[in-house]
Chain A
Amino acid sequence: MALAQRSRNASLLAGGTLVGLVVLAALVSFGWTPHDPLRVEATDRLLGPTGRYVFGTDRFGRDVASQLLVGARSTLYVGVVAVGLAALVGTPLGILAGMSRRWLGEFVMRANDLVLAFPALLLAIMFGAVFGAGTLTAMIAIGIATVPSFARIARSGTLQVMSTEYVLAARAAGRSPAFIARRHVLPNIAGLVIVQCSVSFAIAVLAEAALSFLGFGTRPPTPSWGRMLQESQELLAVEPRLALIPGIAIALAVLGFNLLGDGLRDRFDPRLEAYR
């Protein structure tokens, strides 16, 4: 048991550290970067890692390390927009579906299934084609595509809470559905929603990378890890470093968010409460 507990804490700690690093990189980039990430230096093209350029330069002579730092901003930005949208829309919808009469709940969930039928990336590409490619458009699309997963989780949690006697007691005492949702349902499904957030965050980061790679995400010249990958594809054979560095950054960030989600789930799971 002590071992299990340690491994739970370990994933929370490791996830927290990795996510913390991404946040730190983004924050630092506002005040300081080794070089101007957008400055093109024709004489310094495709330099390997040196004292002057820690991770070297790309084919335009831009500093990779600086781009990595500034790119962390895009990564966090897309995560916050996409996950924030999905959580703020999906959770209330799920609670509504779980608390309302059967036909309304069914209606919400079937509408949910309809959205679920669209692959997130396809939706984002569609949005990009209609509203113009950009980070915000892409992330709103990813957010909309993620709404169903929040609605489902919130609904199943709500159904569970609604069957308990403290909710029966609150209803019997004449408490309004809004009060019950706020006071009884939301606090008890918050753990589930937070965990879903961290998992969706990882998915959003990957989606941004994929969309930027396809040219539907972050517009040049704004640095983003996905765009760094995209720009490196022609040089994959010559300079694999240019693909590896943003690739590793993405992998570590996603791993961090997943571990954080795992750790948070264990912390919030009431069934594990007794063992702590």
Chain B
Amino acid sequence: MTVLRVDELSVSAGGQSLVRDVSFQIGAGERVGLIGESGSGKTLTASSVLGLLPDGLHATGSVRLGEQELLGASERTLSRLRGMEISMVFQEPMTALNPSMRVGSQVAEPMLLHGTRPDRRAARSAAVELFDSVRLPDPEGTARAYPHQLSGGQRQRVLLAIALANDPALLICDEPTTALDVTVQAQILALILAATRERDTALLFITHDLAVVASVCERVLVMLDGEIIESGGTREVLSSPRHEYTGKLLAASDLEAR
């Protein structure tokens, strides 16, 4: 079953085109990587899916979530879907959490907002369960903690718990491990894998780290200057790239000796 279908998506600012004719699909439970250098249009593509393009940018084409067309949908429709059917894990776990709110309430928030739990108490206990499922130590105590009392990896687990709170059909991760060190990175990736498998969630994973793509994604899309220049199974693309740029990306990541 196709969860997300993007057809000929283009994003432009004024006369300048930033993303051109991007088309792809993600099925339920499928994990797709979107790779490319900074400025290649990865994040803009994800923002178009969420309907969160910055002011002044304009998207054309079609983005369908199940049967629902998202491009041009009303803000009300979109806000019902965000955090419910589509969730996002941000890059920087520091600024993605409100420093003056206990993390338990922040996880309860999307459940109360979308009415998936009847009251605050039920949402709170669901939050504690979620903390347990993202393997945060002492879930009860963590729920009462403020973000500054948690480490970077723990904060990213909290963000994942928020994103998973309403069992979304599609999870978008925008470089979720860039700000973390390598060992914590591996734990978070394993967690994202396990969580999406368990819930049969479609995953769109944005990164510039090929090693991460190789360990998480089944399929990969390579973007360059706003266009998808190559796509296919992760193994094929990474082992025998057809496009020159993909080869360069691979060579560059080898040089970093991961």
CB within 8 Å of A: which B50-103 residues? 50-52, 75-76, 78-80, 82-83, 88, 90, 92, 95-101
* Min distance, Cβ B228 to any Cβ of chain A, angstroms: 25
Residue A50, interface by CB 8 Å: no
CB <8 Å contact, A169 and B95? no
Near A by CB (< 8 A), chain B positions 83-137 give 83, 88, 90, 92, 95-101, 106, 110, 113
Q: How far is the CA of A184 from the CA of B50 in the complex (A)?
A: 22
- Which one of A169, A173, A174 lies within 8 Å of B96 (CB-CB)? A169
Pick the contact of A173 from B92, B97, B98, B113 — CB < 8 Å?
B113
A133-167 contacts to B (CB < 8 Å) = 163-166
Tell me if A172 and B50 are in contact (CB < 8 A): yes
B235 contacts across to A, CB distance below 8 A: none
| A173 lies within 8 A of B79 (CB) | yes
Contact B100–A188 (Cβ < 8 Å): yes
Contact of B52 among A168, A184, A188, A273 (CB under 8 A): A168
Cβ of B242 under 8 Å from chain A = no
Cβ distance A249 to chain B, nearest Cβ, rounded Å: 37
Annotate A165-187 by CB proximity to B: 1 below 8 A, 0 otherwise.
11011001111000000011001
The answer to whether B90 and A174 touch across the interface, beta carbons within 8 angstroms, is no
Inter-subunit contact B90/A274 (CB<8 Å): no
Is B243 an interface residue when CB atoms closer than 8 A count as contact?
no
What is the CA–CA distance of A183 and B78 in the complex, to the nearest angstrom?
22
B199 at the binding interface (Cβ < 8 Å): no
In the assembled complex, the CB of A205 is this many whole angstroms from the nearest CB of chain B, namely 30
Mostly, the A contact residues are helix
CA distance A165 to B162 in the complex (A): 13
State the Cβ distance, B100 to closest chain A Cβ, in Å.
Answer: 4
Q: In the bound complex, do residue B98 and residue A166 qualify as a contact, i.e. CB atoms below 8 Å apart?
A: yes
Structural contact, A173 and B110, CB atoms closer than 8 A: yes
Name the contact of A174 in the complex, choosing from B76, B92, B97, B106 (C-beta under 8 A). Answer: B76
Q: How far is the CA of A242 from the CA of B80 in the complex (A)?
A: 70
Chain A contacts for B99, CB-based, 8 A: 188, 270
Tell which of A172, A175, A188 has the most Cβ of chain B within 10 Å: A172
Residues of B within 8 A of A169 (CB): 83, 88, 96
With both chains docked as a complex, state the minimum distance between the C-beta of B206 and any C-beta of chain A, in angstroms.
15
Please tell me if the beta carbons of A172 and B98 are within 8 angstroms of each other in the complex.
Answer: no
Q: B148 on the interface (CB 8 Å rule)?
A: yes
Within 8 A of A (CB), among B206-258: none
Closest to A167 in B: B98
List the B residue with the shortest CB-CB distance to A187. Answer: B100
Smallest CB-CB separation from B79: which chain A residue? A174
CB-defined contacts of A165 to chain B, threshold 8 Å: 90, 92, 95-96
Q: Which residues of B contact A183 (CB under 8 A)?
A: 98, 101
Q: CA of A183 to CA of B92 in the docked complex: distance in angstroms?
A: 21
Assembly CA distance A227 to B51 (angstroms): 63
A173 vs B52: C-alpha distance when bound (angstroms): 11
Q: Which of A166, A175, A190, A274 contacts B95 (CB 8 A)?
A: A166
- In the complex, which of the residues A165, A169, A173, A175 has the most CB atoms of chain B within 10 Å of its own CB atom? A169
Taking the closest CB of chain A, its distance from the CB of B123, in whole angstroms, is 14
Q: Which residues of A contact B80 (CB under 8 A)?
A: 174
- B148:A174 contact, CB within 8 angstroms: no
- Chain B residues positioned under 8 Å from A172 (CB to CB): 50-52, 78-79, 82-83
Identify 19 residue pairs between A and B in the complex whose beta-carbon atoms are under 8 Å apart, listed by A's number: A164-B96, A165-B92, A165-B95, A165-B96, A166-B95, A168-B52, A172-B51, A173-B82, A173-B83, A174-B76, A183-B98, A184-B98, A184-B101, A187-B100, A187-B101, A188-B98, A188-B99, A188-B100, A270-B148
A-B pairs with lowest CB-CB distance, top 7: A174-B79, A187-B100, A165-B96, A164-B95, A166-B98, A273-B148, A165-B90
